[in-house]
């Protein structure tokens, strides 16, 4: 079980520090006691609830954010035999309500901070959902105290096929779809991570991700499996994170590349600013080589690891270990994805689903023990992303279509080339915006780049592209001239917009919808070359 990675450590090292949050330092003993109190109370509260279908894992909504109660609540939900379904502390109430409806959960656990947001959310929820304050479960008299060696006396009987968590992502129909991750999926991932990231003395792990982002699972359970202490910063603001790492001398860092790029943009990513770091994990976006080079100087004692994997493949299914000598010589725009984790399989196929030769681009397929159980979705197109097929030379029968464009390199494993479904048409020509971003990054030398199809006509069809850049001294004429050297004219951005900082969402990724507000109302026609 996923939570066993925590409770096994709590049994061995009950007095070791497990969690720093909100200026509190909790031992494994204390956090295990809180989790068992939540598990005990949740089992009592749900003893009369019958699952909609026999064999279904009951779900429990978790509305909590950056608090001790949030982490005790999450562990308690798992120990009680429920799957946790996190709601976003900063999501619009309508989105959280949609997640609640789709999940089928009958109970919502809320911490003190998020309780202040219930006034907006509660009227949108099914009246049958039971709302319980986590703090009330922690204070309950009937809760079972944890002895010196915590015993999981209140934990439910479960199997590895039960769901551990359900994370909701944007759906193509406008309704969030839930990715169902089992304990078997999660433990397969954890075993591969523990094998390459063994326990180290006084390890202090960052936890910069919201619980709605699956990379939070990596941070929590890799840390606790290795008897480390999880450090939760008060916010995910990049400058706050920068100071937090230095203040607490963290040894393990995990973030999306955009977070590091923002730190670099504010001229904080200087040589040796993170001397305490021993391991850096980037995931969730393509990792620019220039950013990896800057990080290697800023954290001179840290290994740097680029992970790849959609939520449907349980956090990450490929890994590339960044070696400093090779990094210094690299001319690639982004760091490769690398090779599959143990037990995982990959394949690159053409539009007909047939394997392509090494070096050729195609859609990346994933398979293996980490592949999620499927979706909570009414959209048949979502379910079609999981399919059964036997490929020569592969053992897997069940595959997932990622929509990512990739190719196989003998020297670097898998390489990322963008998306297969970000295609736009301009004057009849097909354009992948990631290809334009790649060219814009090379042409501008910018710290961050993005390309938005704009303007659009009344039917929603794009008439051009706008490029966004931060942190470059090159002028627009030079940038666009360089783009014309790499792209057909119809794919060259009509203009470049410079921003002091890119808007980001709760997980630190570029908020492309917000970029639309910075698009110019009129766009000049691109001059013909010559």
For the segment 187-200, the average pLDDT, to the nearest whole number, is 90
Task: Indicate the SS3 state at residue 105.
Answer: coil
Q: Could you write out the three-class secondary structure of 445-488? A: CCCEEEEEECCECCCCCECCEEEEEECCCCCHHHHHHHHHCCCC
β-pair type (177-182, 204-206): unpaired
Q: pLDDT exceeding 90 applies to what percent of the chain?
A: 65
> Which residue did the predictor score with more confidence, 489 or 498?
498
Answer yes or no: are the C-beta atoms of 207 and 417 closer than 8 Å. no
> Which residue did the predictor score with more confidence, 422 or 212?
212
The mean-pLDDT minimum among 110-119, 145-154, 219-228, 403-412 falls in: 145-154
Nearest alpha carbon to residue 362 among 417, 317, 319: 417
CATH 3.30.300.30 location in the chain? 423-518
**pLDDT band, very low/low/confident/very high, at 31 (cuts 50, 70, 90):** very high
**pLDDT band, very low/low/confident/very high, at 423 (cuts 50, 70, 90):** low
CATH 2.30.38.10 location in the chain? 339-419
The model's pTM is 0.81
Among 154-158, 160-164, 257-261, the range with the most confident prediction by mean pLDDT is 160-164
Task: Indicate the SS3 state at residue 379.
Answer: coil
pLDDT score at 94? 86
467-487 pLDDT, tens digit each = 999 988 899 999 999 998 888
Nearest alpha carbon to residue 25 among 296, 319, 230: 230
**Half-sphere exposure (Cβ direction) of 188: Cα atoms closer than 13 Å:** 23
Give me 425's structure tokens. 């048409």
| Calpha distance 126→107 (Å, rounded) | 10
The mean-pLDDT minimum among 14-28, 234-248, 465-479, 506-520 falls in: 506-520
Nearest alpha carbon to residue 277 among 259, 255, 302: 302
Rounded-to-10 torsion of CA 207, 86, 175, 386: 80
> Which residue did the predictor score with more confidence, 451 or 51?
451
292-325 pLDDT, tens digit each = 999 999 999 999 999 999 999 999 999 999 999 9
CATH code assigned to 423-518: 3.30.300.30
Average pLDDT, the chain: 88
CATH 3.40.50.980 location in the chain? 1-9+23-158
Number of neighbouring beta carbons within 10 Å of residue 468:
23
Q: What is the enclosing helix (H) or strand (E) of 223?
A: helix 215-225
pLDDT score at 52? 63
In this structure, CATH architecture of domain 1-9+23-158: 3-Layer(aba) Sandwich (3.40)
pLDDT score at 70? 97
Decide yes or no: CATH 3.50.50.60 for domain 339-419: no
Give me 231's structure tokens. 């450090």
């Amino acid at each position: 079980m996923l939570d066993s990675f925590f409770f096994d450590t709590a049994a061995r090292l009950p007095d070791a520090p497990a969690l720093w949050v909100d200026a509190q330092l909790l031992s494994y003993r204390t956090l295990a006691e809180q989790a068992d109190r939540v598990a005990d109370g949740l089992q009592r509260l749900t003893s009369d609830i019958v699952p909609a279908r026999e064999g279904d894992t009951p779900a429990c909504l978790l509305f909590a954010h950056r608090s001790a109660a949030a982490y005790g609540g999450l562990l308690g939900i798992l120990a009680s035999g429920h799957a946790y379904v996190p709601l976003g502390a900063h999501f619009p109430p309508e989105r959280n309500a949609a997640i609640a409806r789709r999940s089928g959960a009958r109970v919502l656990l809320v911490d003190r901070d998020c309780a202040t947001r219930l006034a907006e959310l509660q009227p949108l929820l099914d009246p049958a959902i039971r709302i319980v304050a986590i703090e009330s479960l922690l204070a309950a008299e009937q809760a079972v105290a944890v002895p010196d060696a915590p015993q999981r006396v209140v934990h439910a009987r479960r199997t590895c096929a039960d769901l551990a968590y359900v994370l909701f992502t944007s759906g193509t129909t406008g309704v969030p779809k839930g990715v169902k991750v089992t304990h078997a999926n999660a433990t397969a991932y954890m075993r591969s991570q523990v094998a390459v990231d063994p326990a180290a003395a006084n390890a202090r792990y960052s936890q910069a991700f919201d619980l709605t982002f699956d990379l939070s699972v990596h941070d929590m359970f890799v840390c606790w499996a290795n008897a480390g202490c999880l450090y939760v910063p008060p916010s995910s603001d990049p400058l706050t994170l920068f100071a937090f790492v230095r203040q607490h001398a963290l040894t393990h860092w995990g973030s999306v590349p955009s977070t590091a790029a923002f730190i670099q943009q504010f001229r904080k990513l200087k040589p040796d600013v993170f001397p305490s770091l021993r391991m850096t994990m980037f995931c969730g976006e393509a990792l620019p080589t220039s950013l990896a080079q800057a990080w290697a100087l800023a954290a001179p004692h840290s290994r740097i690891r680029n992970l790849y994997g959609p939520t449907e493949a349980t956090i990450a299914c490929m890994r590339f270990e960044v070696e400093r000598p090779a990094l210094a010589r690299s001319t690639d725009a982004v760091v490769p994805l690398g090779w599959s984790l143990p037990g995982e399989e990959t394949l690159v196929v053409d539009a007909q689903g047939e394997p392509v030769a090494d070096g050729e681009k195609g859609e990346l397929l994933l398979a293996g023990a980490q592949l999620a159980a499927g979706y909570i979705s009414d959209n048949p197109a979502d379910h079609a992303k999981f399919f059964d097929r036997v490929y020569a030379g592969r053992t897997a029968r069940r595959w997932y279509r990622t929509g990512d464009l990739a190719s196989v390199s003998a020297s670097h494993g898998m390489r990322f080339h963008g998306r297969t479904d970000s295609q736009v048409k301009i004057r009849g020509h097909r354009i992948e915006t990631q290809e334009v971003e790649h060219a814009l990054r090379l042409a501008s030398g910018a710290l961050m780049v993005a390309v938005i199809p704009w303007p659009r006509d009344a039917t929603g069809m794009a008439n051009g592209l706008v490029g966004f850049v931060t942190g470059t001294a090159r002028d627009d004429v030079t940038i666009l001239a360089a783009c014309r050297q790499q792209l057909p004219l119809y794919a060259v951005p009509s203009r470049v917009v410079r921003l002091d900082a890119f808007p980001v969402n709760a997980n630190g990724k570029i908020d492309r919808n917000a970029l639309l507000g910075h698009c110019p109302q009129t766009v000049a026609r691109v001059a013909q070359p010559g």
